[in-house]
Structures are given as C-alpha cells and as structure tokens.
Chains A and B, each alone.
Chain A
Amino acid sequence: MIQVRDLYKQFGKNEVLKGINLDIKQGEVVVIIGPSGSGKSTLLRCLNLIEMPTSGDIFFQGQSILDKKTNINKVREQIGMVFQQFNLFPHMTVLDNITFAPRKLLKLSKEEAYQLAVKLLKKINLEQKIDAYPSSLSGGQKQRIAIVRALAMNPKVMLFDEPTSALDPEMVGEVLAVMKQLALEGMTMVVVTHEMGFAREVGSRVLFMDEGQIIEEGTPQEIFTNPKHPRTREFLSKVL
C-alpha cells in the first residue's frame, strides 16, 4: 500500500533520514520504535508530505506522491493522521471538528455529517460530547476525538505520531484501546510510539530506528525477545 524508496531528509545541515526503504502492506500495523531524535516522527510525517523529503520517493497505492502531477490533497484524504498534541481545532465544537473535512471535501450534507459524527462518537463512547468544545475535554478524550476526526474521511491508512506521549498516564489506556480496536477492524496503521506493550500486542511488525536508519525490523516477538542488533538490545534494555 505504501512503498518508501531511498528516502533522505535534511533540516539544514542536519541529516535526519538516511536512506529509508519500507513497504507497508494492507492491513498491517507497523510500529516504529527508537530513541528520540532517531527520525521516526520525521519518517511518519514524510508519508503524507507534512514534511517534504529531500530525496527519494514515496508511493501510495502504486502512485508516487512526490510526482508533481499528483494532487497531494487527494492523497491526504486517504491518509489519516493523529498527532502527539491532538491538534483539535479549538474554535470548533466536537461535531464541527469531525465533520469539517467531510463536509468540505466529501460534500456531505449537514444531516449526513451529523449522522457520521454520531456513529463515530458512539464508537468511542463520547456521543454526549458532540456539542462540547475541545477546551472542556480531557487529554484522552481529545485524542480519541482526534482519531475519530481522521477516521471521518474514511482513510485507507492511519498514521499515529506518538499519540499517547502528551497524555497523563491514566489516560493512555483509553487511547490505546481505540487504536487496538481499529487494528482489529483491519485498518492499516503506522504507529510511532514509546508504548512497548502496544507494539508487542498489536503490532504486526516492529521497526527499530536509530540515527535516521531502520536498524532492525521483524515481528514483535523477534524484536522484543530476540533482538539481533546490539543497538536494538541496548535501547530495549533501557525502556523495558
């Protein structure tokens, strides 16, 4: 579904990604782990061109998204993204947050959009918050709504950029539960996280990144019980 070929990214003189190759298949849950500054978030942000790669190519459903002829907005409609800082729109209600993009882009009527929002909110047990503003929600609620906002566009892939890192510990569970449910429903997911438990339980494949490169990849079992590379071992010994 997504192919990354020889991807490089520099910020000024700082080389953050050094030749990434990656294939993500339909229905996979790819979890990217690694120390901070290893380029995991940058890689994720390159997948929908929120960050522009310096060189290399990215294919989404066989089509290069870096091609000048590709309409990146159309591609982004099919790639949902969830951010560490939630990034809900503070001046819109939960309803408007969820339905803003579908109404503008999928041309849903007010009624259709409302039904969609109710359906999605029921999934995360927050339908009573439909008229609330984000400022009145807890971090966990905000992030669950941010997930649902991305789902409202009915994307084919979901990208998660450290979705639980800005949350109080007691709220991490509720967000991970939504993500797990999503994985069970067959959603293709790419998740950058420090939640090793989630990686082990839900991930179909785990990538370990360090210094802009994918050092090691394999099933959760391979990575967590029998890491081959010394740097993977070192990292896991610190976080587990």
Chain B
Amino acid sequence: MPNLQRTRRIENAKSSLIVIALVAIVLIILSQMNFAFVGKYKHFYIQGTINTIVLAFFAVIFGVIFGVVISLMRISNSQVLKIVSASYVEFIRGTPLLVQLYIIYYGLPMLGIRFFDIRLPLIGTIPGDFIAGIVTLSINSAAYVSEIIRAGIQAVDKGQMEASRSLGLTYATSMRYVIFPQALKNILPALGNEFIVVIKESSIVSVIGIADLMYKADTVRTNTFQPFEPLIFAALIYFILTFGLSKLLGIIEKRMKISDSSS
C-alpha cells in the first residue's frame, strides 16, 4: 500500500521536525549556561556512565533471570510457590527502592552477609559496594519483570494450552514450544520499558557511594560550585542512554513484526 506508506513517511517527517524544533529551543536555553566544566571533568562523566551501564546491564540480566523464575512460580499449581512469589512481588512493589537498597547495603552485613569484590574478565574488578547495588536493583527489577512475563503468558489464549495438552503433550513441553513463543511477543515491548526504568532508577545507588553517573555529577557540582549545569549534563547522558535503547528496541520490535507478517 504505497499511499499508506506515504502518509506514514509524512508523519515521520512531521515528528522529526517537532523533535528538531524542541532540540533547538533546549539548545538556546543551554547556551545561556556555562558548560566549561565539561572539558575538565569529562573523565568523571565517562567513568560514571560506564559504571551506570555496567550496573544496569547486570541488574537487567539478573532481574530477567529471577523474574522468569518468579513468574513460573506464580503460574504454577503449587499454592506454596504461588504465595511465596506473590508476597515477593507485592513486597518489592510496595516498598521504596531506596529502603530496599538500605536494607541490603546496611542490613545484610549486620546479619553477617558481606559483599566482596568480584574480579571479571573484560570488565575488571567489581567492588563489593557495586555488588550490593546490582543485587538491590536485580531484586527490585525481578518483581516487575515477573509481572510482565506472567501477564504475557496469561494473555495467550487458553485454547492454545488445551489444544497442545489434548494432543498428549506435557505441560512443560506445551509451555516451552506453544505458550512461551507466543507470550514473547507480548512480553518484549514491556520488558524494553523495564530496561529503561532500570537505567534511570539505578541512579539511586549514588546515595550509598557507588560511583555511577549521578554520583559523579554530584562530585562535579561540589568541585565546580555550579549547582545546576553538571546535573543537566548528567540528565542529557541518561537521556541519550534511554532514548538510544528505546530506539534500538523499536527496531527490534519492527523486525519481529515483519517476520510475523511475512509468515
């Protein structure tokens, strides 16, 4: 349908124009500010950005792994597993991330559980504080991820499971080959959102002294006696990270849709 494509292209052009206009306005405002500190402190921002990315990356990986486990517990037939997983999700969703961070960072060592430095190839040494941050963010994210996965699985028509079981296939086989591939299409967009949330929320670990982007921006603020501009610059970097990720996910989604319609 060339007509549809054409209107779409015009729409795209329109929205790009609006974005460009907005960017121009922002640039004008920014030109009133003093960003001279960036040159001197760029290493702060680079190191902070790398730390934020590493933090978010591991939080997302472990968040998804835990999240899958919890969602499977949630949809299982065992009442015990259901109650355990539901309580977990409710507790994590019902308490602030900051409280969870303090509980894990200050609380666990009091119970004798300490976080040690971990040495990894390519990435280098990850300090213990950092591990506490990753653990907190993973535990937090897992609750949300599990809800996303549960909703995605339950959105698949019940008849699919019935048809698969009626052929004599086991619950596990049906889940793996029939339900899960279909659920994935419901899950991926929401999961992408969750990744973006993790990048942003990871900034909270700066309060326990993890040298992420937010922490570094704070350091620059105190060093330069400029209260505002270092934060704007950090915000810009956060935005580039999240916006880039959301565009990337958009491309992946589109790819999946194309492979879907040609099928």
Contact = CB atoms under 8 A, between A and B. Distances in A.
Interface of A: 48, 50, 73-81, 83, 85, 87-91, 93, 100-101, 104-105, 133, 135, 146, 149-150, 153
Given A89-B178, A90-B182, A104-B173, A77 B162 contact: no
B160 A87 contact: yes
A100 B177 contact: yes
Given A89-B178, A90-B182, A91-B181, A83 B162 contact: yes
B157 interface: yes
A73 B170 contact: yes
Given A48-B166, A77-B168, A100-B177, 11 more contacts: A76-B168, A83-B159, A83-B163, A87-B157, A93-B263, A100-B169, A101-B169, A105-B168, A146-B163, A150-B167, A153-B167
Interface residues of B, number: 18
B43 interface: no
Contact of B168 (A73, A87, A90): A73
Given A90-B182, A91-B181, A133-B263, A153 B168 contact: yes
A240 B169 CA distance: 40
Interface of B: 157, 159-160, 162-170, 173, 177-178, 181-182, 263
Given A91-B182, A100-B177, A104-B173, A77 B163 contact: no
How would you classify the secondary structure of chain A's contact residues: helix, strand, loop or mixed? Answer: mixed
Contact of B169 (A48, A104, A133, A150): A104
B181 A76 contact: no
A79 B166 contact: yes
Given A87-B157, A89-B160, A104-B173, A81 B178 contact: no
A77 B167 contact: yes
B167 A50 contact: no
Q: Which 5 residue pairs are nearest across A and B when measured between Cβ atoms? A: A77-B168, A87-B163, A101-B167, A87-B159, A81-B166
Given A89-B178, A91-B182, A101 B168 contact: yes
A88 B181 CA distance: 14
B159 A73 contact: no
Nearest to A78: B168
Contact of A76 (B165, B178, B263): B165
